[in-house]
Amino acid sequence: FLTDGEATAGVTSGTRILVNARQALRGIISLFGLAFGDDADYGLLRRLALENRGVARRIYEDSDAALQLTGFYDEIASPLLYDVALSYRDGIDLTRTLFPNYFHGSELVVAGRVAPGATEFHIQTVSHGHNGQLSLENDISANATEAATFGCSLDLGQIGRFVQRLWAYFTIQDLLQARFRSNDTTARRLLIEKATNLSLKYNFVTPVTSLSPIHGPHHSPPPQCHTFPRSACHSPGWLQTSTSHASTCDVTSLDGDPHFVVQLSGSLETLCFTLDGHPGDVLQLVTDPAKGLSVHGHLIGAPARPGSEDRLRTYLDGIVVLVGPPRLRYAITVTLQGVALKGEGALDLPFGHPAWVSHPGLGIRVGLGANVTLQLGTGLEFVVQRHQYGHPSYLQRDHLGFYVVDGSGLSAQAHGLLGKGGLWDSYLCDSPIHLRSDAWGCGPATRQDGGARIPPFLLKLSPIYWGRSWGMG
């Protein structure tokens, strides 16, 4: 099943499509789905696959489609077994034990606990293959694993903790999948509660929890560090920040349906996070009074995705870089059409015509790939990338991406949404310790930072970012 959009002719109701697919496939045929690009209804495709013994994968626009298709084919090309059922006598709190398919090169993992007092553990596997039904049984002493090291050099206590977290991780995935398939509101709420409680207990960042970034390198970790439920963040809040240290981020960016990627100071890890914005907001991206530098971005709106009408979608369509005393006096405006420079005269540099402009302390390069490199002296280099669609769908918008390639020249007074990203220490917290809803007196589309009102915005990975991102879910 392939799609790059949504149903627009014939049967267009997602519920009706699901019913028709179940009736046609009758539970004996597997359906595999591929969703091409950001405009495909991946939620519907995923549910079609889950309800019909298959899997769904998204083919991302920003990556090599051929490579992604090859990987998907390699994943499902060699089916070995189907209707695999694993049974554990005296096993309790088991994760998923029924699997519709088993492919060559894949693995089936079941985690659980042995019932207290059990002396023997009976395992039975029943499945079907090319030659008919396959049945395997085995009995294992309940104490057989006490002296086992499982090929690890760690002590058994650490192995036990790992197995507990493994069980929790797979249980959370099962709960989220069951919630995704359920149509009952009460059942969905209970499944979310169970998944949230497990995520908090075992410190997992999942779709039902959030990561709380806490600013400042000298902050001590807050007590009871966990993830906190998303439900605690439904109302806007204030992320407290400090301006006592300069940013040391590696590559920091804002792109797509606006999106933050920041390199954590003193760490090899990369933090991706999301804040909501509104069309027409002006973002204060970087401000450094000591350098006479300020960078602002303007947001435009885009149609909401079907099923997420309450979620605003915004993109950058303009970047303004102001360089003033004590250094230079320039205003650089980057739009979807090109670059405009004002200072010692005025100059327009349209996209599509490579150019290089050099002034003392300022360099502007317009590249072939519709990108602009701004060099503002030692340790200050920004890149603005234009993303343009040849045949955009109604969900797509041409937009700009902004990247701090080198921010080492920022002073200790630097702030803004990107100006101090590299100073964030991150902890998993069970409550939004540094979030305050009373700081939002200026409206839902702004954030307060050091007395300034700054609009927040959304997140999406960008093609120009070469670092690593991390997460669990």
Q: What are the pLDDT digits (tens) for 261-283?
A: 666 555 556 666 656 678 888 88
Q: Indicate the DSSP class of residue 383.
A: E
Task: Measure the CA–CA gap between 388 and 400, rounded to whole angstroms.
Answer: 9
Please state, as a whole number, how many other Cβ atoms lie within 10 Å of the Cβ of residue 29.
11
Q: For the chain, which ranges sit under pLDDT 50?
A: 216-250, 421-473
In this predicted structure, what is the pLDDT of residue 455?
36
What pLDDT sits at residue 374? 92
What pLDDT does 307 receive? 67
**Cα angle 136, 141, 144; round to 5:** 115
**Two structure tokens written together for 22:** 């179940």
State the DSSP code for 115: P
Question: Is the distance from CB of 234 to CB of 412 less than 8 angstroms?
Answer: no
pLDDT of residue 127: 93
Q: How many CB atoms lie within 10 A of CB 183?
A: 8
Angstrom distance (rounded) from CA 441 to CA 453:
10
Confidence at residue 453, expressed as pLDDT on a 0 to 100 scale:
39
Maximum C-alpha span of the chain = 87
Determine how β-strand 79-89 pairs with β-strand 91-92.
unpaired
Q: What is the CA radius of gyration of the chain?
A: 26
- H/E element, 81: strand 79-89
pTM score over 0.85: no
Ramachandran quadrant class, 32 (left: phi over 0; alpha: psi -120 to 50; beta: rest): beta
- Model pLDDT, residue 37: 83
pLDDT at 332: 92
| Cα–Cα dist 436/439, whole Å | 6
Comparing CA positions, the residue from 364, 408, 402 lying closest to residue 384 is 402
Helix (H, G, I), strand (E, B) or coil at 43: helix
